[in-house]
Amino acid sequence: MYLINGAESETLAVNDRSVQFGDGCFTTARIVRGRVQLL
């Protein structure tokens, strides 16, 4: 599943900017003993 402009989608077009240029949003979290550490 993908969210494209806030709407769910099952497919991602090959001409989508995120595919062409690697655009995206991600989060990195530290996990210690199975718990997310707030940074």
Q: What is the DSSP string of the chain?
A: -EEETTEEES---TTSHHHHH--------EEETTEEEP-
For the stretch 1-39, pLDDT in tens is: 677 778 888 888 888 887 788 777 777 888 999 999 876
pLDDT at 32: 93
Residues 15 and 26: their CA atoms lie apart, in Å, by: 21
pLDDT at 1: 65
Delimit the domains of the chain by residue range. 2-37
Residues 34 and 39: their CA atoms lie apart, in Å, by: 15
Q: How many residues does the chain have?
A: 39
Residues linked to residue 3 through DSSP beta bridges, in sequence order: 8
